[in-house]
Structure 1
Amino acid sequence: MTNAPSVGSSSVGSLPFGILIVDDEPNIRSGLAKGLADDGRVIDTAGDADEALAKFAKNAHPLVIVDVRLNCGVTGIELLTQMVHDRPGTCVIVITAHGTVETAVEAMRAGAFDFVLKPVDLNLVRQQVRRAQDHYELWLENQQLRNQLAESGELSNIVASGAAMEDVFRQIRQVAGTQATVMIHGESGTGKELVARALHDLSEQSANAFVPVNLGALPETLLESELFGHEKGSFSGATRQKPGCFERAVGGTLFLDEVTEMSAKSQVDLLRVLETGQFNRVGGEELLHSDARVISATNRSVENLVEENDFREDLYYRLNVIPVVVPPLRNRRDNIPLLVEHFLEHFCARHSREPKQVSPAAMQRLTDASWPGNVRQLRNVIERMVITTPGDTIHEGELPAELTRVKAVDSALPPSLAEAVEACEKSTIEAALAVCDLHRERTAKALGVSVRTLHYKMGRYGLR
């Protein structure tokens, strides 16, 4: 091993940046080692797969440079696949004298960071190494942040507090490290995608892709191609091969938003992938595999859709292994001041405005509003106020008129039928829980509903 002066821009934390060069040609190994041994790097070399794996296991090598063809019965692609599996976050640059598109695609699918052709251009390799260092240091920083968040019990991308959201946080922490499918239930604008991202960020797949797709925004004719990809010429307009969401999410997480908007045929196709992990691109015969974890979300009552035969029961059970219910903003009003402060800071910075605050009367008005659009609506209101209010304080009279009207109407008229039904349902569930000593199975039986339905209703009304 060649030791270089320690700790420059290429160091990770207090350790020098380690590179392992794997090639069966001694001249290439020594040339690369000499050309890259600067800026505080530590260079190690190996002539075959066994030596490479032994040194990789013993020493920290954030970056591996490996030849595709090794005279040892193991290919460089097989070696990189094992290394990336054993130590997530490792960057691998593949060197090949056989620069075909197929080789490049195979290497990138196996987890390669980049590839370079022989004869090796040392300046190009130096550039790739610098990019790999930046990529690894960012990955390492994210990992350390995730560990801190997991230890502190906080979720960085979700701004919330209080009892109504604590159950959501608890569930995220419990299931993030598993491969179980999760279905997130909640009204539009409650932050279901943020929950999905938190599940991904705290999972072992966090270094890989998080691929969101809104199924409700796609016409039926494009949905199959979006999910599974298509081959060139498979339909009019298919001018090139395109990988689908399942393919792009290999090793990571696929988030299916508005999953209940799928057609009957698409539901069958999705069920097949969930059961077998296999699929074909549109117009293709090759059987592809995906180990992507699937998280779905819906703002509709799936049980009602199942009863009406609008959603497959077997698919529902596949997707809803772990249900997570995100309560609406009106059931967690104690979150509103916290969210307001967060959005004020965010949008003042985004739109280059001086810091603003909300007057006590305005904050009370925001807290009292009904927020049918949930957090998304609140976010939009605060952004509008940051842009349009001239001073450093947002006053009650400057708030949108619809918020003012909501409170005036609410105080003058009785609740709507829907609100009256919800209030009655909530009080009935509360009474049944009290009679049954909070035992959910007995409560569900007494109310004549399933435990799953009871769980959903309790989350909706913040009864935890």
Structure 2
Amino acid sequence: MKTSDFSVLIVDDEPNIRSGLAKGLAGEADRVETASDAEAALDKFEQSTYQLVIADVRLGGKIDGIELLRQLGQTHPQTAVIVITAHGTVETAVDAMRAGAFDFISKPLDLNLVRQQVRKARQHHALRIENQQLRSRLADAGQISNILGTCAAMQDVFHQIRQVATTEATVMIQGESGTGKELIARAVHDLSPRGDGPFVAVNLGAMPESLLESELFGHEKGSFSGASRQKPGCFEQASGGTLFLDEVTEMSAKSQVDLLRVLESGQFIRVGGEQLLSANVRIVSATNKSVQAMIEEGTFREDLFYRLNVIPIEVPSLRQRREDIPLLVEHFLKHFCDRHGRPMKQISPEAMQTLVAAKWPGNVRQLRNVVERMVVTHTDDLIHDHQLPQELQLQASSNAPSATACTLAEAVERCERETISAAMAACDCHRENTAKRLGVSVRTLHYKMSRYGLH
């Protein structure tokens, strides 16, 4: 099926309504099919995909329209559902909207109104497809969301993001602190069918165990001291979108059991509550620790690890992608000069050599902070080697003897030259577009092109 196709499934236990809607909507969709109950509708989803479901709340069989809506929300979050309710049943309509319905229509049915709702759903579907295509084009340009990288290691990460984003599989991102794990989680979300839904991030390492259950699952009013009102948890807040669990290995043994139970059943209960709620979320987790070592030590559950680690993504440290440092430096220079109202600055070749050779234990986050410090504290347009933090100069000198430093400088220049040449070719030698693509000023681009003999 083409991504532009728009198919509708009508679910109603009254044959006259099914046939009447099918005929009336024939010109509004590429394909219109019907099912007599929720079970038959779910069976149809095993064989095909529908962009819109129109379902009556009251259906024959064990599953009503609201439960069908909830199940489709878990298995096919990209499918919009319009619920048909009896005249005047406001409470049912509210329940449907809370469960994720695209909209509701009251009986008796007005065919013109139904057609308007279908057109609205089709426009929403087309906009979502257009947004996904735009995100994919941005990803193909060597950048996903706010992540930059041209080295082989980062291109491999980009490839993994593109592959996993279109699925519902859980993802575990592993890498050192400061490597950008949350940015990668956001990229997975942005490129997914859930990209228009919420992205909720929670840092489990900064959460006391006494508050974690309430934070994740919510609580009812009066469930504990200080609970003055009902509060939805992260699972509810992220409904229809992505829940990012950062520092997931910091959870206590009890919290690990609670999370595993939700992942296995797809359901949870608020603290102090009785109602069983569905978790319509995609889970992406992250850690900077060796999970295998923790499993061997008995501090992390192996079964939870297998639930979270369906798709692993390993983020390289900045030391493993030194050829990306010039690109990142230029990007951060432009960002912070714009942010702090400073004229665009440049890095001398010797200073860039030092930045490339430094150890960077704090990874990209540390590099970002260093560049911001240089932008704020130095008035010169050109930042020299001696103006960099002393610890970076010491690291660079200890890591790179003179012969190696020369080779490293050549590697940096070669990387910059190749990056600029590729960008110029992609932009048909249009300098302003090339500068925008590289995230630098036109003046910086002219300086680099002159330096490397590029015309």
Query: Shared fold by TM > 0.5?
Result: yes
Q: Write the deviation string for residues 55-101 of structure 1: whole angstroms up to 9, x where unpaired.
A: xxxxxxx999999899xxx9986898899899977878889864756
CA contact (8 A) 1:254 1:292 kept: yes
1:353 counterpart (335, 338, 341): 341
Q: Write the deviation string for residues 202-239 of structure 1: whole angstroms up to 9, x where unpaired.
A: 33333333221111121111111111111221111222
Report the CA distance between 1:265 and its aligned residue: 0.3
The residue correspondences of 1:254-293 to structure 2 (distance < 5 A) are 254-293=243-282
Report the CA distance between 1:198 and its aligned residue: 1.8
Match of 1:383 in 2: 372
Match of 2:195 in 1: 206
Q: Write the deviation string for residues 125-146 of structure 1: whole angstroms up to 9, x where unpaired.
A: xxx99x9999878645422313
For residues 66 and 359 of structure 2, the distance between their equivalents in structure 1, rounded to whole angstroms, comes to 56
Report the CA distance between 1:252 and its aligned residue: 2.7
For residues 414 and 354 of structure 1, the distance between their equivalents in structure 2, rounded to whole angstroms, comes to 32
Match of 2:94 in 1: 104
CA contact (8 A) 1:211 1:245 kept: yes
For residues 83 and 289 of structure 1, the distance between their equivalents in structure 2, rounded to whole angstroms, comes to 11
Say whether residues 1:305 and 2:290 are aligned partners.
no
Identity between Structure 1 and Structure 2 (%): 62
Q: Write the deviation string for residues 291-324 of structure 1: whole angstroms up to 9, x where unpaired.
A: 4222111011112222222111222222223221
Gaps of 5+ in 2: 1-27, 29-33, 42-50, 108-116, 401-455
Partner AA of 2:98 in structure 1: M
CA contact (8 A) 1:146 1:201 kept: yes
Match of 1:344 in 2: 333
For residues 142 and 53 of structure 2, the distance between their equivalents in structure 1, rounded to whole angstroms, comes to 34
For residues 389 and 133 of structure 1, the distance between their equivalents in structure 2, rounded to whole angstroms, comes to 54
Gaps of 5+ in 1: 1-41, 43-47, 54-61, 119-127, 416-464
Q: 1:113 to 1:380 in 2, by over 3 A?
A: farther
Q: Write the deviation string for residues 220-276 of structure 1: whole angstroms up to 9, x where unpaired.
A: 111111111112211112222222222333343221100011011001111111222
For residues 285 and 304 of structure 2, the distance between their equivalents in structure 1, rounded to whole angstroms, comes to 11
Match of 1:315 in 2: 304
Match of 2:382 in 1: 395
Report the CA distance between 1:192 and its aligned residue: 0.6
> Per the alignment, in what secondary structure is the counterpart of residue 332 of structure 1?
helix
The residue correspondences of 1:17-56 to structure 2 (distance < 5 A) are none
Taking only aligned residues, the RMSD between alpha carbons, in angstroms, comes to 5.3
Match of 2:395 in 1: 410
For residues 207 and 414 of structure 1, the distance between their equivalents in structure 2, rounded to whole angstroms, comes to 46
Q: 1:63 to 1:153 in 2, by over 3 A?
A: same
Match of 1:178 in 2: 167
Match of 2:216 in 1: 227
> Per the alignment, in what secondary structure is the counterpart of residue 188 of structure 2?
helix
CA contact (8 A) 1:89 1:207 kept: no
Partner AA of 2:220 in structure 1: E
Partner AA of 2:155 in structure 1: E
1:162 counterpart (151, 164, 172): 151
Match of 1:370 in 2: 359
2:284 counterpart (290, 295, 317): 295
For residues 132 and 320 of structure 1, the distance between their equivalents in structure 2, rounded to whole angstroms, comes to 35
For residues 409 and 318 of structure 1, the distance between their equivalents in structure 2, rounded to whole angstroms, comes to 44
